[in-house]
Structures are given as C-alpha cells and as structure tokens.
Amino acid sequence: MKTKGFAKHYYLMLLPGYLWLIIFSIIPMFGIIIAFQQFNPGKGIFGSEFVGLEHFRYMFTLNDTRDILFNTLFIAVMKIIANLIVPLIFALMLNELRLLIMKRWIQTIVYLPHFLSWVILGGIVLDLFSYNGPINQLGGLFGLEPELFFANASLFPYLIVGSDVWKEFGFNTIIYLAALTGISPALYEAAGIDGASRFRSLWHITLPGIRTTAVLLTVLSLGNVLNAGFDQIFNLYNPLVYSTGDIIDTWVYRTGLLNLQYELATAVGLLKSLVGFLLISISYYLAYKFINYRIF
Amino acid sequence: MNKKNQGILLLFMVMLLIISACGNANNSPNNTGANNNVANETKNPDNPPDPFGKYEEPVTISIGMEVDPTDQSLPAGDTPSDNQYTRNVKENLNINVEHAFTASGANMPQKISLAIASDDLPDAMVVGPIELRQMVEADQLADLTEVYKNYASPTIKGIIEGTDGAALKAVTFDGKIMAIPGVQLKADGIHTMWIRQDWLDKLGLEPPKTIEDLEKVARAFVEQDPDGNGTADTIGISGPQSGDGKMYANFLESKNNLYGFDAIFSAFGAYPGFWIEGDDGKPVYGSILPETKEALIKLSEMYADGLIDPEMAVRKDSKEPVVNGKSGMFFAPWWMGYGPISDAVKNDPKANWQAYALPLNAEGKFSPHVGTPSSEFVVVRKGYEHPEAPMKMLNNLFKGESEATFDPSKGGPGFYPLRLVYAPSDETEYTVKAIREVLAGTKTPEDYADDVEYKLLASDLLAIKKVKKEPFDQMGIETWDPSADMGIWTRAYSIMIGGTPLVDTEMVDVPSLIYEQTPLMESRWVNMKKMEDEMFLKIVMGAASADSFDQFVADWKKQGGDQITQEVIDAVNQ
Amino acid sequence: MVRDTTPGSKMFDILLIIVLVLITLTCILPLWYTLALSLSSNSAAAAGRVWLWPIDFNLKAYQQILQDSQFFNSFWISAKRVFLGAGLNLIVVAMMAYPLSRSAQQFRARNMLMWTLIFTMLFNGGLIPLYLTVKELGMLNSIWSMVLVGGAQTIVFNIILTVNFYRNLPKELDEAALVDGAGPWYTLFKIYIPLAVPVLATVTLFSIVYHWNEFLYGLIFMTREEYYPLQTYIQQLVVSVDPATMTEDQYKRMSELSNRTLDAAKIFIAMLPVLVVYPFLQRFFIHGITLGSVKE
C-alpha cells in the first residue's frame, strides 16, 4: 500500500495540537494530587504531606456534596431534554410558516441570545425578574402577587433551565431547520396525494427525517452541560438558592478560590470529572447502539 | 510502525518531564536567594532604627493592591501606581512602589488566594484574618516582631497598644508578631437603628423601644403611607442584600454590617455568629442557643407580616430603597452619612434620618455585640529584603494624614499603598463630645490642638459650623445645610447623628471570646457557616419551619461544632 | 408542493404566526430593554420607571464611555484575543482532525489518541495548577495565557466536530488521491480543507464567540485592569462590592458612582461586535454543523 509511510506525517500534523494540550491541559493535571494532600502552599504540590483519602471521606460527610452532585445532574439532564424538545417544536412550527421573509427574520432574531455571554445576559435576566422588574409588572396586570423569582430555591433550577433554553433554542432551531429542508419535498407531495393530513406527514416523514440531528444536538449539549453551566449560574445565583442551584463548578470555585480550601475543592473537582466521563461514555454508547453513530 | 508509535509517545513523555522540571528549577533559586538577603538584613540593620528614616538607596516594594475600577478621582495623568501618595512615599522614604497585582474589591480575595496558593507572593499586601492564618501556617510570612519593636512610630504603637492587647493578639502566633494590625473604631462594630424621624413625626409615633414597639412602628410605616404618595410601596425595615449581605455580623467579620438585624438579635439576648459565655461560664457559639431561635421566630413573623423588606436577601443593593425614600428603618453602624444617607438626602432634603441605640432588651438595656479592633493586616513575604519598609510606609501614612498632607480630591486615601486604618478606638465618641463643646461655645477648636492621634479632629472642629445651622443643640435634618459642603456634611452628619447614641447610651458590650479561627475551623468553618446562613435565611423568609433550627443545631454539632467548641474553650483558657 | 387551504388550516396559520412572533419577541425585548435603559436618565433607571422606551432620553452614558480609555483598551484586547484564538484554533483543528479522521486500520494509534483528547477535555487539576503553569511560562498578563488556556479547553470539542465532517466526505476522494500519488499533506490542504470550509467556519465562529465571551481567565491570569479583556472588565464593574470589608471612603465613592444606565450602555456596546459579525457567518455554520455530522 502507498499509505505505508503516512503515519509519521500524521504525527507531525498532530504535534502542535498535542503540545498545546500537554502544556495547558495535561501538565496542570498534576494539581489533582492536591486532593490527596494536606496542601501547604509554602511547600508546594511536590512538598506537601500526603493524607490519603481523608478529604474524600470528609467530602462524603458533607450535605453539600450530595446536593451539588444532584443539582449538577438534575440541571444537566433537564437542560439536555429541554434543549432537544423546545427547538424541535419551534423548528416544526417555523417550518410550517409560509411567509418566507418572516421566517428568515424570525430565524435571525431567535438565535441572537446564543452569541451573548452570561456576564451580559445574567445582568439582563436578573433585572427582568427583579421585584419591580418588567416580569412582575406584567404579572401585576393579571393580578398576580410579585414574586422573588431568583430567591426561590424551588424555582431556581427551572429558571436556570428556562433561561438556558431561551438562550440556546434559536441556535438549535437553525440546525433542525437545516435538517428539515434536507427532507425531500417529493415525500410530502406523495403524502399529500394520499390525503395525509399535515400532522400525519409530520409524524411519518418529518420526525424520522431529523432523528440523527436530534442525536447530534444531544451530543453537542453534553459538552455544554459539563462546562458552560458555570458561567450561567455564577452570574445568576445567590446564597438563598445554593441548596438547589449550586453546581459542582460554582462550589469548587467558591471553596477553592474564595475560601482557601484547596484540597476539598480539588477532590470535588475530581468527582465532577468522573461524572463527566460517565455522561460522555453513556452518550457514546447510546449513539453507537441506537443509530450506529460514532461520536468520535 | 508500532515501534514508531511508541517512540513518539516516549518523546511526548520526555517533553512533559522537561517542561515540568523547568518549572521547578525556576522556583528554587529565587527562594534561596531571598533567604540569604534576609540574613544579611538582620545582621546589618540601619543604625539606630528610625521609623521615618529615608533609605539612602532606592528600595522597591511590590504589593497587591485593591483598585476600584469605577473610581475616577485621580487627576489626569495620575495612575494607581503614580499619584500623590506614591510620590509622597518615594520622596519621604525613597521607596518605589510596584504593583504585583491589582483587582477590584470583589475580586481581591480571589487574587490574594491565588497568590497564596501558588506561593507567588508580592513583597507585602493587606489581608484579612483567614488569609493571615493560612499564610502563617504555610510559613510564607516574615517575622515582624523586631520590625514592630524598632520601627512602629510612637503614635501607632500607642493606638495598637490602646486596644488592651487585642490588636497584637490577632497577629501573634507562637509569640511572634507575624503581621502589622490595623486598628479601627470601636464604633464600626456597634449597629444602631437608623429611622426616618420625619415619618415617625408624621404618624405620631415614638422611636420603638421594645420589639413590640418595633413591630408597631414598622407596621405603620408599611401600611399608613408615610411618604404620602398614595400607594403602599414603603418598607418597614430594610434587610440584607443578596450575595454578600449578612443578617448579623460574626466573630470573623465583626464590624460594619449594613442592613442586618444585629440590634434585633441583641434585644433578645441573642448573639448569633459570636462566641460568648454560656450559662455554665464556658464559651459557646451564639447561633445554636435558644435565644437565637426565639429571635429568628420573631423575625420570621415580621417577615411574614411584610414588616421586613420582602426583597431582602435578593435585592442586589439594599441601599436603593433607603436612597429612594422607600425604607423607614435599617440597622447599621455610625457612618451612614458616608453610606446611603447622603444620597437619600440629595434625593429628598427632608429625609430626616436619625440614629438610636434601640430596641432594648428585656432588662431595658442596649447590649450590642462589639467587634475586634483589628480585621485588616499588612503582611510581609518571608525573605523580603526590607521587612521594615511597610511599617515605615504606615508611619508615613499616619503622619501625612494627621498633617493633612494629602488632598482627597486628587485621589481618595485608598490609593495609599498598603493603607491600614489607624484610629483610636474611641475616635467617633471623642469627636462627638468635642464638637458638642465647640458648638456650645464652652471650648474652642484650639483647646484640642494636642490630640494629634485623633487625626481628623482639628478639621472636624473647624468645619462644623459650615454645615450645622442653629439651633446647635438640635440635630434634625432641617438644622443642617448639606449643600454648603457635601463632603464636610457627610462626615459631620455621620459623627453627630451616628455617634450620638454611642455617647449618650449606657451600653452593655458583648465581645466575642475569640475573633480568630481555630485550627479545625480552617477546613470546616466555611461549610458550617454556609449551612447556618442558609438555614437562618430560610427560617426568616418562611422557607423552613422554626423546628428546623433544632435540626440545624444537631447538624452543626455533628459536622465538627463540638470539636470546634472544645478548641475555642482551649484557646480562651490559654 | 401541495398544501391544503381549508379554513381550519388558515386559522392554524394565523395562530402559528401569533405564537412565533410572541416567542421571537421574548428574544429581542430584553435586549431592547437594555438599550432603552442605557438611553434613559440615571434617576429614571434607578427608580425602575424605564420600560420599553427611554425615559428622559440622553446620550450621557455613551459620552461617558467614549471618555473611558480602559473600556476601549479592553475592547481592543478582546479583539486581539479573538483574532489569535480563532486563528490558532482554525489551524490546529484543521490539521489535527485529519489524522484522527482516519480509520483505526489506516492509523493505528488513532483510537488511543482520540480518547486522550477526551480525557484532557474532562479532567483537570483546577485553577491553581493552571495558574502555576501559566506563571512558570511567563505568561501572566500576556494575551497568550487567555488564548492558549481557553483554546486548550475548547479545541477538543471542535476537533470532534471536524473529524466527523472529514469522515463523512466521500471515500472516493482518498482513493483518487492515493492513485494520483498524493501524500497526506497534499490531500489535507488541497482536497480536505477546501471541502471543509463550512465546518471550519463553524468551529471558527464557536471559537470567536467563546473568546469574546469568556471572562474568568481574564480575571485569573491578568494582574491588572489594563490587561483585562472586555467581558472581564464589565464583569468587575457589575459585581457588587462587599460592604462589610469596605472602608468608609470606598463606600462613599461607590454610592456616588454606581450607575445603572452606564452599565446598560457598556453591556450594549459589548454586545455590538457579536451582533455585527454573526449574520455574515451564519450561512456557513448552518451547513457546517449539519453536513458535518449527519450521515443520511
């Protein structure tokens, strides 16, 4: 085969990227050692005393650990599901719209929030939902009592999921729409001739046609769930909603950086990595099993 | 092919090792070099030590510094690293100040934490008690025992030692002074009731003396439209804001708690957050005592009745309703003229905010918790060649401030590098009395010329009549003229309104038995405190029943509370 | 296309338009509200009187920003960061994805290397070791710390996306190239990359948005405000200061300077570049995502 000497070229192509990752991802992983130490900044990572699993043991006696683990998973799963279904419904509705100019405008507007940071959107969202804010004023018109939305621990996770969906649904809609336009019009024509209603053709033609897109979106959202939850919650939460809104990342940030409990924070961070690994592995397996699709 | 793969993998591994090894190699020479220097310094101190002595050769100090990004007070051309203060330090001491890092107030803890954790410390910086302890344990700090002894100026020494040893105790570890403590006003730790006197008068009410009165007044403020705009949009009692707001000060942050309920708690004899003497004479944590439960229940009733700001703990800025004339009461220390009240008066010149040492407890006494005199410290990195330089800078600052060398309009005092507050702990009370004498004509400003440690007293006395109108023995807002000079009025109003209850009330002070962390607290306290804060907020705001208090006490003890209490007992007995 | 035009269907269309427009409004109104706030007087904003139209219209906030040299400085840093980050991301991703898109038969180390990437994406040692690494490399206060650290955390995701795209290009391309005697470099640059423009535009857009919106690394690695990127600059302006640790003079200055309209104006200007850029890139990225990953 002519491909014989190719491998060394392949390595060359990989070299810059791997160097980058080794320096900025793999080397800093030495920090995980802190989780097993009584970390003394004066002595550094290589000089501190090892204490085995003490911090992990303490971690599991904390109510916090259970809470943040649950919150992370709960919010993550809700986000994945909602970000799958809401854009799908919206895309289907948009697909039924016959005014093309309007369709294009709506498309362009709804995915705008996706591109804005949570630093910015967090400020806007908190303002909208404040006690005298527009949302409560609107509710007042319908005779509703003003509600302190972002102080309500039982509401908070849903507000997080809701505002995340609000930010992201437009973006995912675009992707669904592209898939929808990829479905051959001939299929709809045939269905129309057979006398199928709009809803029947939706069920039998449209939905099967975009199944793989749905899987893809799920996979894309996994990356977000593991990392991007931080920016959002960090900019929206307050101590009142720690019990339901604190996720691993925010907790680790506060504990490690603001409260100087480096060891505990690292231990919990490790836990997060494990949860992430689990999620990715599961989705890898599911995608492979159900649509015979290899994510990577 | 397989072998080649392995070869390349090996290459990766080797690189990885080299890179990490380089990191270490860079580290060590720095440290040893610095240590040598300190040895030299102790051998050849300048002779004799002069607290204000100018270095012959320029000395450089790198510091971590808080810079408020919204501050526009520096004149054009000046920067946080080059302004009247830094030039003054250069001129008087021949010290060049460099910034290792700067950050806004909210981001400062994060920067300090990174510096400690990475052992990448500036030569000196200002830290709080938790960071101080952490750095002492990591052996990162220079021993300042000799520095303090030889270089602290007599005035500063006088102020530090005027705290009955409390300030030095906070920085002494194993008999060594590891940091230079600041000394703040005692008044900063006493939280009094600020109330709209004009609303009281309008509704024909008296300042509330008891908890029942307090409820009555708050209800009237909420229901009887005291601002007369026809809508029920007023707040009885303001509450803490979201994020950093606290319902009560605690032994680690024992002062300057704005919009908390400190005085309400103390009216119940409850001192949550403080280590006090229990019935058996042993130290006990105030938050787990039945008095605290009682106070929480009352607060939750008041909250449910709408007497407390329904937006407490969520509001981004509790100052807002006070400024906008929507709030009738809040609890805070004396300096509220610097706080929301100057804006409130700008908005509504008739807003007559007065301060009272109320409500009273069952014995009819005002019995506040009091703070530690020192909560900020200057620390010096171990191995810095000139450990006395920060002390000299503090001497120079105090001298400069009492001689009015600096012009605050050309950049606020926060721009002085390594600034610590040094004030005789009774400065507020003393100033109130002095101003009264001057207003009454029984004394003149010149009579106080010798009180140099009260560094603002002279200017306070000279300026008071600019903003205070007749009659001098009344303090209502109508007897003031803020527009004459807002800057002077801010301070004078704070002193005369906020300081008056401190002078005129016979208080029963309740100090915390300790103001520092014990060893176990370092790993446990944050989480226990978080549990406490959440639980108490929930109880007050009705999200948890009063009975969950008992569960909290049990959890608190289980999560290390009992051990920590023992540690505190040992620490107090030492 | 055959569409039914019964009255019931007409009703359905009207209802559809109403719902779609309402949802679209929720995406645009918050941003509009921010604009209105930024154009109002400070007292009206503080009193919560601003709704959807500026009260006491004025441009003071914007005039103030024009005088704020740090704002423009940070803006410029962000622009540079985006340029470097997205450029580097593009080069490395395009190159790394190619060998990784080979099958395990063609490139034996492929699976192991791919899982290594996933590993770096999931596990990390926390912020402190990262800080130490950056410090040892002398990159504190350098724009490269944000470019490289941020890049290392997002690059893997982009690689996965691009690998999928490459994999779905027709196999005949490879065979034809082999027959012509083309080496891997030629195949990559002359065949794959030109065909992969949509997906490369997509990952570039991701990278641009990421680098523009990210604020935490600016906060951690930059020791002075003059080095902050825009989002970090805005974040620190909007965060409240702890009154318990504030000195009196700080408090005084805070109270004189807190300014909601100015914040709104800064937020709005920070949004602008994204608003301007994204219509141009949208055409590409729709294709990039869908073609890249959906195997029909």
User: Which residue did the predictor score with more confidence, A202 or B86?
Assistant: B86
What local confidence, expressed as pLDDT, does residue C246 receive?
41
> End-to-end distance of chain B based on CA atoms, in angstroms?
71
pLDDT recorded at residue A274: 82
pLDDT by residue (tens digit) across C128-163? 888 888 988 999 999 999 999 999 988 988 898 888
C171 with C213, same domain: the answer is: yes
The structure's pTM equals: 0.75
Q: Note whether C188 and C265 are same-domain residues.
A: yes
Is the interface score ipTM higher than 0.85?
A: no
Interface residues from chain A to B (CB-CB < 8 Å): 7-8, 11, 18-19, 22-23, 26-27, 30, 39-44, 46, 58, 61-64, 126, 130-131, 146, 148, 150-151, 153, 238-240, 242-243, 255, 257-264
pLDDT confidence tier of residue B302, bands split at 50, 70 and 90: very high
Higher pLDDT, B396 or C2: B396
Confidence of residue B23 (pLDDT cuts 50, 70, 90): very low
Q: For residue B125, report the phi and psi dihedrals to the nearest 5 degrees.
A: -160, 170
Q: Which two tokens stand for residue C239?
A: 């965060």
Asked whether residue A38 is assigned to any structural domain, the reply reads no
Highest mean pLDDT among B297-301, B437-441, C256-260: B297-301
B505: alpha, beta or left? (left if phi > 0; alpha if psi -120 to 50) = beta
Q: Which of A116-130, B114-128, B523-537 has the highest mean pLDDT?
A: B114-128
Q: Å from A242 to nearest chain B CA?
A: 8
Question: Which residues of chain A make contact with C128, given a CB cutoff of 8 A?
Answer: 31, 34, 256, 262
Q: Please report which residue ranges of A142-241 form alpha helices under DSSP H.
A: 156-181, 185-193, 198-201, 207-209, 211-227, 229-236
The answer, yes or no, to whether the previous bond of A87 is cis (omega within 30 of 0) is no
How is residue B84 written in tokens? Answer: 């009247």
Number of structural domains, chain C? Answer: 2
Average pLDDT score over residue span A240-258? 83
pLDDT, average across residues C270-286? 70
Those residues with Cβ within 8 angstroms of residue C122's Cβ, 6 or more apart along the chain or in another chain: A226, A273, A276, A277, A280
Closest CA to B285 of B8, B52, B473, B529: B529
List, for residues C81-134, the tens digit of each pLDDT value: 999 999 999 999 999 999 999 888 888 888 899 888 988 888 888 888 888 889
- A262 in C contact zone (CB under 8 Å): yes
Report the CATH architecture of B51-183+374-415.
3-Layer(aba) Sandwich (3.40)
Confirm whether C2 is domain-assigned.
no
Question: Which residue type does A117 have?
Answer: S
Among residues A96, A121, A99, which one has the least CA distance to residue A231? A121
Structural domain of residue A158, as residue ranges? Answer: 75-270
Give the mean pLDDT of C264-283. 74
Identify whether the C-beta of residue C67 lies closer than 8 Å to the C-beta of residue C266: no
C91–B contact, CB cutoff 8 A:
no
Pick B191-367+509-573's CATH classification: 3.40.50.1100, 3.40.718.10, 3.40.190.10, 3.40.50.2300.
3.40.190.10
- Residue B568 pLDDT level (bands cut at 50, 70, 90): very high
User: Is the pLDDT reported for residue A217 higher than 90?
Assistant: no
**Residue range(s) defining the domain that contains residue C28:** 7-58
- Closest residue in C to B259 (Cα) is C243
Are residues C202 and C141 located together in one domain of the fold?
yes
* Residue of C1, C78, C84, C122 to mutate, testing the A interface (most A Cβ within 10 Å of its Cβ): C122
Question: Is pLDDT of C250 > 50?
Answer: no
**Residue B31 has what pLDDT?**
40
Mark yes or no for CB contact B134/A41 under 8 Å. Answer: yes
Least Cα distance to C33 among C46, C50, C48 occurs for C50
What's the pLDDT score for residue A168? 87
How far does the CA of residue B338 sit from the closest CA of chain C (Å)? Answer: 5
Identify whether residues C102 and C243 lie together within a single domain: yes
Report percent pLDDT > 90 for chain B: 49
Rounded to an integer, the average pLDDT of C23-40 is 86
Average pLDDT, chain B: 86
Residue C89 · residue C207 · CB < 8 Å: yes
- Work out the average pLDDT over C36-51: 74
Domain parsing of chain B, residue ranges: 51-183+374-415, 191-367+509-573
Query: How far does C2 lie from chain A, in Å, by closest CA?
Result: 6
- Asked whether residue C151 is assigned to any structural domain, the reply reads yes
Task: Report whether the peptide linkage leading into residue B408 is cis, meaning its omega lies within 30 degrees of zero.
Answer: no
- Nearest one of B531, B519, B467, B518 to B497, comparing CA atoms: B467
Condensed to tens digits (0 to 9), the pLDDT of residues B421-478 reads 888 888 899 999 999 999 998 998 888 888 877 878 888 888 898 899 888 888 999 9
Distance CA B341, CA B325 (A): 10
Q: How many residues make up chain C in this entry?
A: 296
Are B412 and B482 in contact by the 8 Å Cβ rule? The answer is: no
Asked if residue B296 has pLDDT above 70, the reply is yes
The answer to whether C65 and C237 are in contact (CB under 8 A) is: no
Mean pLDDT of the C221-232 span: 89
Within a domain: A213: yes
Supply the pLDDT for residue B26: 41
Binning pLDDT at 50, 70 and 90, where does residue C256 land?
very low
Least confident of A134-138, A238-242, C219-223: A238-242
Q: Which of A61-65, A213-217, B214-218, C288-292 has the lowest mean pLDDT?
A: C288-292
A61 in any annotated domain: no
Give alpha helix (H) positions in C41-102: 42-46, 60-67, 69-100
The number of folded domains in chain A is 1
Q: Are residues C159 and C32 in the same domain?
A: no
Does residue C36 share a domain with residue C102?
Answer: no
What CATH number does residue A204 fall under?
A: 1.10.3720.10
User: Are C51 and C88 contained in the same domain?
Assistant: no
Per-residue pLDDT tens over the stretch A264-289: 888 888 888 887 788 777 777 877 77
Residues C181 and C109 in one domain: yes
Identify which of B567, B452, B573, B474 has the alpha carbon closest to the alpha carbon of residue B518. Answer: B567
Strand partners, B408: none
Q: Which of C276, C69, C285, C28 shows the shortest CA–CA distance to C165?
A: C285
Residues of B in contact with A11 (CB under 8 A): 8
Q: How far apart (Å, rounded) are the C-alpha atoms in residues A93 and C21?
A: 11
